[in-house]
Amino acid sequence: MKLQRNGRSKALAIGAMALVSSLSLAACGSDDNGTGGTSGGSTSAAAGSSIKCGKAGNLLGAGSSAQATAIDVWKTNFAAACSGSTVNYQAPGSGAGIQQFTQGKVTFAGSDSALKPAEVDASKAVCTGGQGIDLPMAGGLISLVFNVEGVDSLILDAPTAAKIFDTQITKWNDPAIAALNPSAKLPDAEIQTFHRSEDSGTTENLTKYFAAAGNGAWSYPASKAWAGKNGQSATGSAGVAAQVKQVKNSISYVELAYAQTNSLKSASLATGASKPVEATAANAANTFAKAKITGTGSDLALKLDYATKEEGSYPLVLVTYEIVCDKGNKAETLDTLKSFLTYTASDAGQKAAGEKGYVPLPKELTDKVNAVIPALA
């Protein structure tokens, strides 16, 4: 099942932009459309009324740190609306989350990349009569965050960024960086790069971007595990963000939510469009609008165009999936799982995440997710 690029792509674009534009309404203080999840994690009466609770239960989840902030908002709103129901989510990274899921330790896993065939096979041991499937839930934008003395704005392209993270480029005033930033006062300083220490879907999406748009500058396969030379590591998106904030002349990669929370500057990307594309939710939504579904049946894995050159389309994006069993879910938590996922995929749930720096997914896509959820068994 695939999303077509013509009329269906147009519909996706309209849906994505409509949801992104709703963020500006939220900034003006409007809560008439009944979301919750504002700062402080409270939920309004309207938000609560939009959540269908079902039977109370306790959900355990683990995985992607990229979606941890979205989960925090969602679980707070859900628990406030549904007395007796709780969601406990740990964020050790996508790889660890999938491992816990295939070992039957959690009800759902969060991952920044779709299940590999071997992981699907492993899931069959815990999904009795079924298998793990990918449900796209939180749209993300990966910011190349930097802390460079005297530099407030920075433009990079995929080949240059790949060489920086592989320590082929080691000085901020390197000619390749200077050519992209002719008006910047780049220091003659060593570049301090930070990458994720654990298996990370964010790392995999970054390296997919390098592979697709880097013109061969990144010589390694796209992977959750960091393969570049040298650099320093930190755990989780919060860990690398903290390092960039503290260390001068540094650069790393984090989701937009972490860039905003830590007041970090984000580089614009030169993609081949007429002008560099800024790291904004609206620009990322333009890329999500062209995503294609590559999964089969109830699996909704997506293919993203990391090499897009379309105007205003930010290419360095990720989608975080909730990974669940299509069949073989535990009976005591199935009703709660369906209720929680239905809320997260709703307009209210997407907007609540959007207010925290995520990119609301196109409505045509979330409609497909909501068509799968009732059939979980």
Q: Where are the domains of the chain?
A: 7-141+297-308+318-375, 142-282
The pTM assigned to this predicted structure is 0.78
Predicted pLDDT at 2: 34
Amino acid occupying residue 220: Y
Q: What is the mean pLDDT of residues 51-68?
A: 93
C-alpha distance from residue 32 to each of 26, 67, 177, 327, 345 (Å): 9, 26, 46, 37, 19
CA–CA separation, 104 and 87 (whole Å): 16
13 pLDDT band, cuts 50/70/90, is: very low
Taking the C-alpha atoms of residue 265 and residue 267, their distance in angstroms, rounded to an integer, is 7
pLDDT at 9 > cutoff 50 = no
Residue 79 or residue 7, greater confidence: 79
Place of tokens 């000619």: 175
Return the CATH number of the domain spanning residue range 142-282.
3.40.190.10
Residue 7's pLDDT is: 40
Give yes or no for residue 75 having a pLDDT over 60.
Answer: yes
Mean pLDDT of 226-251: 96
State the pLDDT at residue 4: 36
Buried b (16+ CB within 10 A) or exposed e, 312-338: bbbbbbbbbbbbbbbebbeeebbbbbb
- Judge if 7-141+297-308+318-375 and 142-282 fold alike in CATH terms: yes
pLDDT at 44 over 60: no
Q: Which of 268, 255, 358 is nearest to 313 (CA)?
A: 268
Mind listing the pLDDT tens digit for each residue in 150-181? 999 999 999 999 999 999 999 999 999 999 99
Model pLDDT, residue 14: 38
Query: Which residue shows structure tokens 């909730």?
Result: 322
Q: Report the alpha-carbon distance of residue 118 to residue 74 in Å, rounded.
A: 30
Measuring CA to CA, how many Å separate 191 from each of 148, 153, 168, 187, 316?
9, 16, 11, 10, 21
* Mean pLDDT confidence for 198-211: 94
Distance separating alpha carbons of residues 80 and 41, to the nearest angstrom: 10
DSSP 8-state secondary structure symbol assigned to residue 22: H
Lowest mean pLDDT among 14-23, 261-270, 326-335: 14-23
Q: What percent of the chain has pLDDT over 90?
A: 83
Say whether pLDDT at 21 is over 70. no
Band the pLDDT of 357: cuts 50, 70, 90: confident
Task: Match domain 7-141+297-308+318-375 to its CATH number in 3.30.420.40, 3.40.50.300, 1.20.1260.10, 3.40.190.10.
Answer: 3.40.190.10
Q: 32 pLDDT exceeds 50?
A: no
Give the Cα separation of 2 and 321 in Å (integer).
17
Mean pLDDT of 8-12: 39
pLDDT of residue 332: 95
Q: Is the pLDDT of residue 131 over 80?
A: yes
Residue 26: pLDDT above 60?
A: no
Mean of the per-residue pLDDT values for the chain? 88
> What pLDDT does 54 receive?
83
Position 25 pLDDT exceeds 90 = no
Confidence of residue 24 (pLDDT cuts 50, 70, 90): very low
Q: Are 353 and 260 in contact (CB under 8 A)?
A: no
